[in-house]
């Protein structure tokens, strides 16, 4: 992997991990924000219902008090009359004052201050009412020129009146949500604001009632209209400042999303690293069957006729071929070598099964790892596979390196089982291990393969130049065949043949071939 690929993979890892970390947090925040908005709308709806209930209740109570004044049979503004009015105001907490006025609207008396002549409001005349019902009820909104000097709501009928504090309509709403919104109560027939919370803009409230849209300084609005009275309630929520929004952020959801994001990021990082690591890529190659087989012809040194081939596994990774010495150790360490060996066998039988059925004097040798030379697993796979293809056991031979003999007892039993099943067993890379001689004494094999490192020194003035001849002599003593690997020069082939080696392989005869090229090569050497 070059620097550019490493950089690209690092950038991809950062993007994936960052997305995995931030996406759950972002989703959590979005979901929380939507949930918070929905809850705000629901709270606003509850507040609007409570405000409408309050407005209707206050109106009924004030109308009831006004009705009781109409039943007083005393002479207006007389002492008994004023006494009755005072009793009514004491009975009804919502009533601030009660009194009388004449047909021209001039104020006559008050339960608070008595008759006109006794007070300072002599000559006060009520303006035309802001609203008058069909049954004669009149209403004045926001009058201040009455006893007490406070802005009042005035309800009058047939010359008598009551006053009340307008804030009764918006104060004391029985809900803990009242502080969250602005509340205004309007008379829908008069299109007048009866009462509102502080900073209520009457024109904006009436515009909201008409358009059912929140004003620019509000984020949400709810409108409720009475079914029995000319009343409507408008509740709005002011837009929050950025500081308020920060304080109201659903931090629990956010932190929860971050925690989930970090967990996802760790998982994504682990997954990506595994996928882009050599072991991860090799595992993916096993799953995708990305291994191919090249066939290194094995020839008779005497006749130069091809007698078989060694199956060499290759990893086709991103349109390039990876050498076995680059991935076989990793496959053995990572527990993938058995799956690769099975794929090699499947490929050999698929590509050369028909050839082997027609020419039963050819064979293919397959390399086995230590794990398959200490158990009968591969033998159990091999038997049914060749039987299904109609290939003779003698046509599939086994090559084993000295690393497979670390568990000598188990390997000895498995090798014997292969030979009993008809599969010849060769000791590969002979002479490179520290215990080759002891292996020959302990194991029964069918042949030795001389490692290329010894063949390379043939004919040279080197300390190991005579090793190949000694191995051949040893094989003759044990009555086993010899196959020399890595023959590249004619003098090497002649030297090995002269000393008794029967077979050889290497670029002098042919490089590793595809299945079709091997069949062609075998046919050419057969007829030459």
Q: Under a CB-based contact definition with an 8 Å cutoff, are residues 411 and 369 in contact?
A: no
Residue-level pLDDT at 247: 58
Q: What is the pLDDT of residue 428?
A: 86
Indicate whether 386 pLDDT > 90: yes
Q: Which residues pair with 107 in a beta bridge?
A: 101
- Asked which of 276, 308, 326 is the last residue of a domain, the reply is 276
Task: Give how many domains the chain has, as a whole number.
Answer: 2
Residue 284 lies in a domain: no
**Judgement on whether residues 420 and 333 belong to the same structural domain of the protein:** yes
Same domain for 307 and 196? no
CB neighbour list of residue 56: distance below 8 Å, 6 or more residues apart: 226, 228, 229, 231
Q: Which of 335 and 280 is assigned the larger pLDDT? A: 335
- What is the CB neighbour count within 10 angstroms for residue 518? 25
pLDDT in tens, 263-290: 766 666 666 555 556 777 888 888 888 8
pLDDT category at 321 given cuts 50, 70, 90 is confident
Kindly state whether residues 264 and 333 are assigned to the same domain.
Answer: no
Is 285 domain-assigned? Answer: no
283 assigned to some structural domain: no
The answer to the question of residue 281 being in a domain is no
- CA dist 131 and 128 (Å) reads 9
Strands 114-115 and 192-196: unpaired
Q: Is a pLDDT exceeding 80 seen at residue 260?
A: no
In the prediction, which pLDDT does 197 show?
85
Model confidence at 103, pLDDT cuts 50, 70, 90, reads confident
Percent of the chain exceeding pLDDT 90 equals: 45
What CA dihedral angle connects 415, 419, 420 and 422, to 10 degrees?
Answer: 140
Q: How many other β-carbons are positioned within 10 Å of the β-carbon of residue 75?
A: 9
- The answer to the question of residue 282 being in a domain is no
CATH code of the domain in which 383 resides: 3.20.20.450
Q: Are 266 and 306 in a shared domain? A: no
DSSP annotation string for 132-183: E-TTS-EEEEEE-SSTTSS-EEEEEETTEEEEE-GGGGTSS-SSTTGGGSEE
Whether residue 465 is predicted with pLDDT greater than 80 in this model: the reply is no
**Chain mean position to CA 10:** 20
Please tell me the distance from the alpha carbon of residue 196 to that of residue 171, in angstroms, as a whole number: 9
Q: What's the confidence (pLDDT) of residue 3?
A: 47
Tell me, what's the pLDDT at 381? Answer: 95
pLDDT in tens, 40-98: 778 888 888 988 999 999 999 999 999 999 999 999 999 999 999 999 999 999 999 99
- For the stretch 119-135, pLDDT in tens is 555 567 888 999 999 98
Mark whether 474 and 334 lie in a shared domain.
Answer: yes
Task: Look at residue 2 in the predicted model and tell me its pLDDT.
Answer: 47
pLDDT at 32 over 80: no
Give the pLDDT score at 380: 95
In a domain, 411, yes or no: yes
Q: Is residue 260 part of a domain?
A: yes
- Model pTM score: 0.55
Lowest mean pLDDT among 141-150, 197-206, 368-377, 450-459: 141-150
Do 75 and 103 lie in one domain? The reply is yes
The residue from 252, 276, 300 where one domain ends is 276
Strand, helix or coil at 118?
A: helix
Per-residue pLDDT at 382: 95
pLDDT per position as a tens digit, 336-377: 999 999 999 999 999 999 999 999 999 999 999 888 888 999
Q: Same structural domain for residues 15 and 125?
A: yes
pLDDT(299) > 80 = yes
226 and 370 assigned to the same domain: no
What is the average pLDDT across 493-519? 95
Residue 222 lies in a domain: yes
169 and 299 fall within a common domain: no
Average pLDDT of every residue of the chain? 83
Average pLDDT of span 171-178: 61
How would you write 465-507 as a 3-class SS string? Answer: CCHHHHHHHHHHHHCCEEEECCCCCHHHHHHHHHCCCCEECCC
Report whether pLDDT(141) > 80: yes
Structural domain harbouring 256: 1-276
Asked if 120 and 164 sit in the same domain, the reply is yes
| Same-domain status, 330 and 251 | no
Same domain, 100 and 228: yes
Strands 291-300 and 503-504 come out as: antiparallel
| Percentage with pLDDT > 70 across the chain | 77
Residue 171 banded pLDDT, cuts 50, 70, 90: confident
């Amino acid at each position: 992997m070059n620097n550019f690929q490493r950089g690209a993979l690092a950038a991809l890892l950062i993007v994936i991990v960052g997305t995995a970390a931030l996406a759950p947090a972002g989703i959590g925040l979005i979901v929380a924000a939507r949930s918070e908005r929905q809850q705000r709308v629901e709270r606003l709806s509850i507040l609007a219902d409570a405000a409408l209930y309050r407005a209707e209740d206050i109106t009924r109570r004030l109308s009831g008090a006004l009705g009781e004044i109409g039943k007083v049979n005393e002479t207006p503004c007389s002492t008994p009359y004023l006494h009755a009015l005072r009793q009514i105001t004491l009975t009804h907490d919502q009533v601030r004052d009660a009194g009388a006025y004449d047909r021209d609207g001039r104020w006559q008396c008050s339960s608070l201050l008595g008759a006109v002549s006794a007070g300072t409001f002599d000559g006060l005349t009520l303006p035309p009412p802001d609203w008058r019902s069909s049954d004669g009820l009149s209403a004045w909104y926001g009058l201040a020129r009455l006893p007490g000097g406070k802005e009042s709501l005035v309800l009058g009928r047939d010359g008598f009146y009551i006053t009340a504090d307008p804030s009764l309509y918006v104060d004391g709403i029985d809900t803990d949500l009242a502080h969250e919104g602005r509340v205004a109560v309007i008379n829908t027939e008069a299109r007048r604001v009866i009462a509102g919370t502080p900073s209520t803009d009457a024109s904006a409230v009436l515009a909201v009632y008409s358009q059912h849209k929140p004003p620019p300084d509000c984020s949400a609005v709810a409108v409720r209209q009475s079914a029995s009275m000319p009343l409507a309630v408008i509740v709005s929520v002011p837009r929050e400042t950025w500081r308020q929004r920060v304080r109201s952020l659903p931090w629990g959801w956010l932190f929860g999303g971050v925690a989930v994001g970090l967990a996802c990021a760790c998982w994504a990082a682990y997954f990506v690293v595994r996928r882009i690591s050599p072991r991860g890529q090799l595992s993916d190659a096993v799953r995708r069957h990305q291994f191919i087989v090249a066939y290194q012809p094995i020839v008779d040194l005497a006749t130069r006729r091809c007698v078989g081939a060694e199956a060499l596994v290759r990893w086709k990774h991103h349109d390039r071929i990876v050498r076995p010495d680059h991935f076989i150790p990793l496959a053995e360490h990572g527990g993938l070598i058995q799956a690769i060996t099975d794929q090699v066998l499947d490929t050999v039988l698929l590509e050369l099964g028909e050839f082997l059925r027609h020419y039963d004097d050819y064979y293919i040798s397959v390399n086995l790892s230590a794990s398959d030379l200490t158990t009968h697993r591969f033998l159990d796979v091999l038997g049914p596979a060749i039987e299904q293809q109609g290939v003779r056991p003698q046509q599939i031979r086994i090559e084993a390196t000295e690393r497979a003999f670390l568990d000598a007892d188990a390997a000895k039993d498995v090798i014997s089982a292969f030979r009993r099943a008809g599969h010849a067993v060769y000791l590969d890379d002979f002479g490179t291990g520290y215990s080759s001689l002891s292996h020959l004494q302990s194991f029964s094999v069918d042949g030795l393969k001389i490692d290329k490192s010894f063949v390379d020194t043939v004919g040279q003035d080197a300390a190991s130049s005579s090793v190949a001849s000694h191995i051949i002599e040893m094989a003759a003593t044990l009555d086993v065949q010899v196959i020399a690997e890595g023959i590249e020069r004619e003098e090497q082939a002649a030297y090995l043949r002269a000393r008794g080696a029967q077979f050889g392989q290497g670029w002098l005869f042919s490089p590793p071939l595809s299945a079709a090229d091997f069949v062609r090569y075998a046919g050419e050497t057969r007829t030459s």
